[in-house]
Structure 1
Amino acid sequence: MSRPANPAASPSAVIGVSLKMYFGYERTLEYCREVATIAAAHPAVLSGEIELFVLPTLPVLPEAARILGTSGVGTGAQDIFWEDEGAYTGEVGGKMVAELGGRYVEVGHAERRRIFGEDETIIGLKTAAAYRNGLTPVLCVGELNSGSPEEAIAHCTAEIDAALKRAQSLGPLSRTIVAYEPQWAIGAPEPATPEYISAVVRGLDEHLRNLPGQSESRVIYGGSAGPGLISQLDMSVAGLFLGRFAHDPKALKTILDEAATRLAATAGVSPKGVRA
């Protein structure tokens, strides 16, 4: 029997992985098995201190949910349509994602905005579809060009407000994971600086938690994030949204260990089961 994922009511850290379209079916399942093995042996994941989720390509979701669910790892989709069902050829609604075992859905990634022309109206509709179907939206926001933290905060809070205002017009809001991903850092050799990330996320976190229904929401960082980064960030940064740097399960294990060590240091205790 699968145990409930992430038993802690309020996880202290959130680590997400998007596999984008890099792996085939069998390679994705192999990855999920490796991650499940890591998670099943990781005290911070087992206790729910770290909320861990993986977003595979949609055809793999049912089997990925079965494999990862036994070790407390959540799964979800990289996109959904804004309607739950109907004559929408080629689209997949949140209702089906939930039926397939998904608990999360990525919304508004920079690639969806740039390649597929998704605007704030579409992103808001998809956010509403996530809430409506019991899915946690991973709402991606981020400025196009590098500038000051204040400029980034202004841009990203406007994106958050647009999505949640549209969603609220269609139904009740619930918990959101905001993934701050400055577009200029996605796919870059290096992430934004720790000081820049921390300053922007502090502003976004303060703004988000003051919005209706968002007291349990969290802000994480994505954009060329990998091992070594989370230890350098302010605790207002709840975690990381990972891409290619976590496609190696060993690198993901390192990041989980770093997140657990950071939590333990904040609590003033020694992390369990974390190797130096």
Structure 2
Amino acid sequence: MTTIPAVSATRGPALDHDTAMRLAATEYGRYLAQLRSLSPEEWAAPTDCPAWDVRQMAAHNLGMAVMAASAPEMVRQNVKAQLRQRKHGGLLIDCLTGLQVEERAGMSPDEIVARYAEAGPRAARGRRSRPAWLRRAPMPDRQVVGGVAERWTWGFLFDTILTRDTWMHRMDTARATGRAPELTAGHDGALVADVVAEWAERHGSPCTLTLTGPAGGRWEFGAGGAELELDAVEFCRVVSRRAPATELLDTEVPF
């Protein structure tokens, strides 16, 4: 049996709640617009998540939005995911996302789009309404990031991860279909900057990072370190373990 090391600190969101919820609402809208633009052939395109094509990825995103919108639905999905984990093993998050895809296996692209149009705004409202005391509370299960088990607050899930997850899958879909994603400094640049800050905090080494493209920017962390330059979306692909990485870029950031 492999023992996974753990850290004692609990990770919370870096962005303030109002900013995080503004980004969440915008991201749900952008992903919906992307889904509405897809051709029938593009729904079957393979993605950087090997088990999923574009339709299955959308089914996961729909399931996650439905979960985020409703506390009872969050409990239901997590209980079923835990049962799957006990039966089949693996990580709980993989059991949860697999459940979301499986439960929507019979949905057509049109059905997924229609339901996402309802679920996205409900998810944004549900996440915004989570009380501060809950957002500060730690989640019961540790999450494995970079081979280390760490504790998150519910706020890190609600304010950070659920938006990063949708954003990254929008980038996955753009890559799978060969379409350029909508990117702006005010929205995507803010999300990428939050990822960069967490990445730098996780590796703790001096460096200068230059990210190109509409979501990019330049950051200096300490002095005398490595100088890195790459596209902003590609940076997120690398630190999310979607692309090969070396040295500081091998520091994983959760999405």
TM-score (structure 1 length as normaliser): 0.33
TM-score (structure 2 length as normaliser): 0.35
Which structure features the higher share of helix residues? 2
